[in-house]
Structure 1
């Protein structure tokens, strides 16, 4: 079928809105008309080839929309359902069977190979050239996307569908780092490095858990102000003061029980570990360019400190996304305050605004 999509053809160059041909759904696939799609830092990382990926390609992995068609083997979703699209997983490997789909052993093939698992393309341009798709099992910077039944999450029809796409990745990543991966008890001290949409979702989740203090570190005063409005108790401008020293002052020289590192910047990862109390845990969430490394003080780590990688918030999306929606209904998780809408045709402006701090979570409407 004919669709339109934002296509990346060259590294570090603007997206182009183009007409493409999208393949029909296979037996286990779902065709979704996209209503809204969030912009995630990961999309830009791949566009810029900080993580190598074949081009031309359609990115986008925080789609929400309405199901239009389903393959004959699909049982959990029907045409007309409202859905959020999330990352893909095989459902059969050791990790998936243990309830850890974000650590699926087939994650690379299913999410960032540029094709279906069997190597088939799903997209072609008007000249018949192959365009890489299936990004995180969807490629939703488009009017329509193909997804696998496993990475489609049905949501209630009475919630604003265009808002819900970021729950599929960025928002579930930040919230899940707290609620699923670290699971701090009420009264635990938490420090969050990076007050973008992922970090602020972690702030919201830490408030739900009853953490104290909730310390937020960033370089932008406006983001730090918003962090306080969303449940943070203390802020640190990492560009103005020594962040680790400030955190130790706030925590009576003990350090934080938990830290969440959302920037992917090696020196900030080091700070997130150094800011921990004895026995503390650092959840590393931020994506970094391929090959990025961080040096740690071995003797500090020996004091019971743990560094834990967290992918997609350690979530089972079919369970966690509805839970976040319920928190939102109850007024406990106002992630909509982070969102600004753009037409898909303005995707390059959305990226520019995001990179210069003008918007926390851009959501495009095709």
Structure 2
């Protein structure tokens, strides 16, 4: 048992409170990690606001990075002292996991949102009362997190900025993976990115890596449009300047080959469909605030254009393979994801939530001082 400090959500819509909790030691397949930094992700906030299921009171956080301090008896992947990134959890035995597609694990919801370990126990308690734990297999909004062997990725580069690496485990790999894995965008093609947050701008970074010729970012905030251009976008669009499809076709009359939506706003998606070229692909990444939100699809238009629509989870990533690839690109100066990150002390988590909501930062990483 380890005494930790963590940010706890006690009620839907409430603020995070910093509390003392007890965290179990690692079971046979688990890894105890001292957290150096943890990203603040839209999914954490969606759960806090009740848009996604999770038992409360509970500890969220799913973009953690840190140092292994203890491993379970059956763990062989990492050892004490290893630097690691934490990602989503998966079962390892279902048909999708066996095909190296863990983002579509048949047990994804149970392993990442149930608030308990796979054996039904919680690893966290507050004054003897059970708390929701195991969020994305980690619950890393704390000084320590208990992860599983399957969802820790060892960082072999000693120069990598450990505290900043957590977002590689979710938001950054989601945006980059959408372009490099899910859509497998071809060099010289065109991409439309809806939303200039960390996921959207990670897609831009990946599009530059893949050498796309036209990269258009749609974003209401001027500061984020400017950042997008500095990262390699060829064009930016202010959605308030006119109908989206008209603005896109003013840039590329035949329409775009690929589109990545991070907004989950139905009206934006409808305009995106009108912006596509024949045989285009649309990837849907955003989490809607309304879980019943639905997109109306014109069947004739979809058939005539030959449009493909992908629902994308975690960028179709196998973290053990993809995170090292992104780190190697970063080391080579080709994937500067650190330009998206603003660090804030972990104790200021509620202030960080407000700042990110106001658009003052693209991706906040909470660091322990």
What SS does the corresponding residue of 1:180 show, helix, strand or coil? helix
- Structure 1 stretches (4+) deviating beyond 4 angstroms? none
**Which residue in 1 is equivalent to 2:250?**
249
> Residues 269-315 of structure 1: CA distance to partner in whole angstroms, max 9, x if unpaired?
22222211111000111111322212122221112001101100101
In 1, the alpha carbon distance for the partners of 2:139 and 2:55 equals 14
CA RMSD of aligned residues (A): 0.9
Residues 260 and 272, structure 1, Cα contact 8 Å, conserved in 2 = no
**Which residue in 2 is equivalent to 1:178?**
179
Is 1:114 aligned to residue 115 of structure 2? yes
> Residues 118-162 of structure 1: CA distance to partner in whole angstroms, max 9, x if unpaired?
110110002x11110100000000000000100000012221100
> Residues 184-207 of structure 1: CA distance to partner in whole angstroms, max 9, x if unpaired?
111101100000000000000001
Residues 54 and 132, structure 2, Cα contact 8 Å, conserved in 1 = no
> Residues 247-266 of structure 1: CA distance to partner in whole angstroms, max 9, x if unpaired?
11211x21100000011112
What SS does the corresponding residue of 2:250 show, helix, strand or coil? helix
**Which residue in 2 is equivalent to 1:188?**
189
Structure 2 counterpart of 1:355, from 346, 354, 357: 357
Gaps of 5+ in 2: none
What SS does the corresponding residue of 2:159 show, helix, strand or coil? coil
What SS does the corresponding residue of 1:294 show, helix, strand or coil? coil
Quote the offset at 1:33 in angstroms. Answer: 0.2
Gaps of 5+ in 1: none
Quote the offset at 1:52 in angstroms. Answer: 2.9
> Residues 7-26 of structure 1: CA distance to partner in whole angstroms, max 9, x if unpaired?
00011111000000001110
Quote the offset at 1:331 in angstroms. Answer: 1.1
Residues 58 and 135, structure 1, Cα contact 8 Å, conserved in 2 = yes
> Residues 307-349 of structure 1: CA distance to partner in whole angstroms, max 9, x if unpaired?
1011001011011101101111111111101111111110011
Residues 178 and 203, structure 2, Cα contact 8 Å, conserved in 1 = yes
Residues 53 and 113, structure 2, Cα contact 8 Å, conserved in 1 = no
**Which residue in 2 is equivalent to 1:307?**
309
Is 1:227 aligned to residue 228 of structure 2? yes
**Which residue in 2 is equivalent to 1:275?**
275
Quote the offset at 1:174 in angstroms. Answer: 0.3
> Residues 153-180 of structure 1: CA distance to partner in whole angstroms, max 9, x if unpaired?
0012221100101000000000000011
Residues 30 and 149, structure 1, Cα contact 8 Å, conserved in 2 = yes
Quote the offset at 1:359 in angstroms. Answer: 0.4
* Correspondences of 1:192-341 after superposition (within 5 Å): 192-251=193-252, 253-289=253-289, 290-303=291-304, 304-341=306-343
What SS does the corresponding residue of 2:25 show, helix, strand or coil? coil
Scaled by the length of structure 2, what TM-score is found?
A: 0.97
* Correspondences of 1:32-181 after superposition (within 5 Å): 32-126=33-127, 128-156=128-156, 157-181=158-182
What SS does the corresponding residue of 1:5 show, helix, strand or coil? strand
In 1, the alpha carbon distance for the partners of 2:271 and 2:180 equals 22
Structure 2 counterpart of 1:364, from 358, 363, 366: 366
Quote the offset at 1:209 in angstroms. Answer: 0.6
**How many pairs align?**
364
Residues 273 and 307, structure 1, Cα contact 8 Å, conserved in 2 = no
Scaled by the length of structure 1, what TM-score is found?
A: 0.98
Residues 99 and 316, structure 1, Cα contact 8 Å, conserved in 2 = yes
**Which residue in 1 is equivalent to 2:22?**
21
